[in-house]
Amino acid sequence: MHRPTHSLGRIFAYTAAGVLAAAALSLTAAPTDPESPIRLGSNENAFGYTPKAKDAMIAAIESGNYYNRNEVDEMVKIAAAKEGVQPDFIYPTAGSGPVLELTAAAFSKPGLNIVTTTPGYPQLTGAFTKWGGTIKYTPVDAKMGYDFAALAAAIDENTAVVYICNPNNPTGVLADPAELRKFVMTAPPHVLVFVDEAYLELADSGLMPNTVAPLVKLRRNLIVSRTFSKAYALAGLRAGYGIGHPDTLAKLRKYDLGLAPSFLAAIAAQEAMKDQEYMELNRKRYAEVRNYTKKQLDRLGLAYADPQGAFILFKSGMDSAEVVKKMLAENIMVTRPFGIAPGDEPKYADWVRVSLGNMEEMQLFVSALEKTLGKN
């Protein structure tokens, strides 16, 4: 089975008019490997990034013999203006992953703990355990969203960090903005609150009403992370940043082994931030495939958590390892939920996370799922 985007790409490639038509339609991003299964496992953006970033990178590529000069500084300036903070509140990195990893390096040590939810995104919490600390999990609420009372109750004198991913990965549920703000502002001062907003641009209500980035001016012990990998579709280029008080970011810098974005990634990130219109277009595309996929899951009678990111967590009714295997046999990658507290696994035994691809990919996902679950 071919990825539909490839076959369309091939048809378009045969004529000059086709090339123009493909560009005008902006069908999808170029696949990295035409033979690979449909990638609905890693929350990559199938729609691609702004053509302005591509043009700017092509124009700059001849300068690859020089080290990064002003490109990252310029990226930081634009990010700072966008976030409404001074440039020294921005820590630029190759994707947002390094901000999570550096936070673990700077804040973890044996005897300390990190408080988070089960299930949850495990990059910071996993790194926290590598540096000697432990994880204290609290369950998500009945709707698979954040239970802030439970998070607050789990904090003790040995808690170094609380990790919140909003919307949460892998459940996709968005936190109530007032409750999140209250939590951030009332968490004990010795605790670093880390809010990972990797998918926030894609929430139905968008980034602005939900982001807690402005609170870095009020709370020193707060880091918010942002990535260009999701709504801005620059995952392979690697750009992201942390937002926090300079004194807090200084703690991370001590562990930095050279994790800045490359000059090309910094150039692409600048263009991505400047072209908000393109990001809005991608938001709309995501909303469209999300609505389509929700309707299909409804039709199949499958429950799912309210999806506000680039993916949907649904209850398949079949062992999820089996679903992943069978879907792969149908050429489609999906994943099992992760970041689950020990002992909590049975609750998620039949839940599966599917990333939102383009419409054709989601249509193929639905038919493969029907076949896998015997619903065809």
Ligand X SMILES: Cc1ncc(COP(=O)(O)O)c(C=O)c1O
Q: Which stretch in 26-34, 45-53, 57-65, 95-103 sits in contact with ligand X by CB under 6 A?
A: 95-103
Indicate the residue among 123 and 211 with the shorter CB distance to ligand X: 123
Binding positions for ligand X, 152-171, rule CB under 6 A:
165, 169
- 3 state SS of 39: strand
Ramachandran angles phi, psi of 92, nearest 5°: -80, 135
Q: How many CB atoms lie within 10 A of CB 262?
A: 16
Q: Out of 198, 222, 252, 297, which residue is the one contacting ligand X (CB under 6 A)?
A: 198
Indicate the residue among 96 and 211 with the shorter CB distance to ligand X: 96
When asked if residue 355 is in the footprint of ligand X (CB under 6 A), the reply is no
d(CA 224, CA 216): 8
Q: Name the residue type at position 127.
A: A
Q: What is the smallest separation between the CB atom of 255 and ligand X, expressed in angstroms?
A: 16
* Alpha carbon distances (Å) from 339 to 116, 126, 313, 342, 345: 10, 9, 14, 9, 10
Place of tokens 């980035």: 213
Q: Out of 229, 316, 358, 372, which residue is the one contacting ligand X (CB under 6 A)?
A: 229
d(CA 192, CA 213): 14
Q: Which stretch in 92-100, 130-138, 286-294, 346-354 sits in contact with ligand X by CB under 6 A?
A: 92-100
Question: Given its phi and psi angles, is residue 336 left (phi above 0), alpha (psi -120 to 50 degrees) or beta?
Answer: beta
Q: Out of 240, 244, 261, 337, which residue is the one contacting ligand X (CB under 6 A)?
A: 240
When asked if residue 105 is in the footprint of ligand X (CB under 6 A), the reply is no
When asked if residue 43 is in the footprint of ligand X (CB under 6 A), the reply is yes
Binding positions for ligand X, 318-337, rule CB under 6 A:
none
Token code pair at residue 237: 């280029």
Q: What is the smallest separation between the CB atom of 104 and ligand X, expressed in angstroms?
A: 13
When asked if residue 133 is in the footprint of ligand X (CB under 6 A), the reply is no
Question: What is the gyration radius of the CA atoms in the chain, in angstroms?
Answer: 21
Q: How many CB atoms lie within 10 A of CB 149?
A: 12
Q: What is the smallest separation between the CB atom of 96 and ligand X, expressed in angstroms?
A: 3
The residues of the shown chain that bind ligand X, judged by CB under 6 A, are 43, 95-97, 121, 123, 165, 169, 196, 198, 227, 229, 235, 240
